[in-house]
Amino acid sequence: MELSTVVIAASLILLAYYYLTPQKSVKKLPPGPYPLPIIGNIFQLGDKPNRSITKLAQKYGPLMSLRFGSLLTVVVSSPEMAREVLQRFDHVFSSRFIADAWEAYDHHTISVAFLPVGDRWRRMRKVFREVMLSTPRLDGGQAVRQRMMKNLYDHLHECSKSGHVVNIGEAAFITTLNLTSVTLFSGEVINFDVNAKTEFKEIFGSLTSVSGKPNLSDYFPWLKPFDVQGLKRKMKIHLGQLLGMFDGIIDERLKERRESPNSSKRNDMLDTLLDFSEDKENELSMNDVKHVLVDLFVAGSDTTSSTTEWAVTELLLHPDKLAKAKQELKYVLGDKKQVEESDIPKLPYMEAVLKEVFRLHPVGPFLIPRRIEENAQVNGYFIPKHTQIFVNVWAIQRDEKLWPNPEAFEPERFLKNNIDYKGQDFELLPFGSGRRVCPGIPLAHRMLHMMVGTFIHHFDWEFEPGVTPDKVDIKEKFGLAMHKAIPLKAIPIKG
């Protein structure tokens, strides 16, 4: 059922609820557009909330109030306000808003993305930072990543010989998904066969689709038991399928360890997690292990492939920038087919390209929403307990006061400054900041340089027949990750 239809139907039921709801606080909330009775500002979101909310922020300021049903949301849309929320008052704003769908199988009570800051969150964060994504662990996985890049190169090479059109986002997604699966449990889950329809891909696609849809249960908490849009039910189906697949993989690995205790381990992340769970002090159960695997798949695969597609799109639409990137790769790599991780520090223009892609096309335009657990004062405004917080990086990163010619793709702007994307520069926050900054930055840094480099180093590109640069659609589709609305398809030409 369409969201607008459900809202209208629910509104008739909610009239009584509205009059029983406590009225607006007498304290001074941040300014914002007038909310309609019951539904608030829901209809002002449209199908591209990143753009509609940014337009509202331009009118009402860098700290703005919106109401989505009974849910008060404060939107932060300037580097100064982001610093207040993510750094100065990080301890107050560090909890997460939990979407109802992610409560399926109690995922929110295990996921490091959703856990409240506390002892359990610190233990799970330690698993990611010190066990899964530490520098020694990442260095040890270079050969695996290189093999996945070779698979991508071979696929593009075959397509160049046959003149086959490549779906850039799908090729990047398959590469990232296989890299994640090989890194986690030493097995690939999908191949480049154009007709391949694996169970894993279908489950993953359904899960990310459901989790990216607006849900009335989040706007009107009393509707949660009814699940009027069926999103939690669907999430339970897809998440259950994914957890079931991980169950089988873990059971098989435990069986190997029991039957051959003296054999050498595979030394993948699953082995590391299982070793970590055997230490009782770590309090990591098999159920926790499965949900950690979900976090790693969902957080890494969709975002990396989407950023890669945007990067290749922008480069193909700007041949002068593409020529600079290719020239740098040629100078540093010579005749090598692929970018190696040791090459990355020698590629300042490629780094600038990726920073500009992060700026223009953040995969999470509002980051992962936060929730305040106590009343707070920010910039003279009162923010009540349980308010949802959006950090509007989409607006910050396109603010003309910060970025001259903000809609233009200009990697050169980052050759003139030291702005980075690791959470310390509040003009550029694609991964967030503070204690909730994304722990996967080091892996994303390595992966994106190699992925984009593989697409462009030894290949020139032509758009699919009938498409010229002026006809390439660069509209975005709002969801769990900010994808291109229409996938980029092009033909690789061996250079």
Return the pLDDT at 204: 78
Residue whose pair of structure tokens reads 């793709």 in the numeric block: 409
As a whole number of angstroms, the distance between CA 465 and CA 406 comes to 31
Q: At 426, phi and psi to the nearest 5?
A: -80, 0
Q: Is 159 annotated as a binding residue?
A: no
pLDDT in tens, the chain (495 residues): 455 555 555 554 544 444 344 444 458 999 999 999 999 999 999 999 999 999 999 999 999 999 999 999 999 999 999 999 999 999 999 999 999 999 999 999 999 999 999 998 988 888 888 777 888 888 888 888 899 999 999 999 999 999 999 999 999 989 988 888 888 888 777 777 655 446 777 887 788 888 888 899 999 999 999 999 999 999 999 999 999 989 999 999 999 888 888 777 777 888 888 888 888 777 889 999 999 889 888 877 788 999 999 999 999 999 999 999 999 999 999 888 889 999 999 999 999 999 999 999 999 999 999 999 999 999 999 999 999 999 999 999 999 999 999 999 999 999 989 999 999 999 999 999 999 999 889 999 999 999 999 999 999 999 998 899 988 989 998 887 888 999 999 999 987
Element (H, E) at 310: helix 286-317
pLDDT of residue 487: 93
Q: Does the pTM exceed 0.75?
A: yes
pLDDT of residue 160: 96
How far is it, in rounded angstroms, from Cα 228 to Cα 442? Answer: 40
Contacts of 32 (CB under 8 A, 6+ apart): 41, 56, 60, 64, 65, 66, 67
The residue ranges of every structural domain in the chain are: 3-494
Structure confidence at residue 26 (pLDDT)? 57
CATH of 3-494, one of 1.10.630.10, 3.20.20.80, 2.102.10.10, 3.30.70.20: 1.10.630.10
Question: How many angstroms from the chain centroid is the CA of residue 243?
Answer: 20
Confidence (pLDDT) at 153:
95
Question: Are 156 and 459 in contact, with CB atoms under 8 Å apart?
Answer: yes
In whole angstroms, what is the distance from residue 391 CA to residue 389 CA?
6
User: Residue 279 contacts by C-beta under 8 Å, 6 or more apart in sequence?
Assistant: none
Q: What are the C-alpha distances in Å from 255 to residues 241, 251, 252, 358, 487?
A: 21, 6, 5, 43, 42
Region at 230 (left for phi over 0; alpha for psi -120 to 50; beta for the rest): left
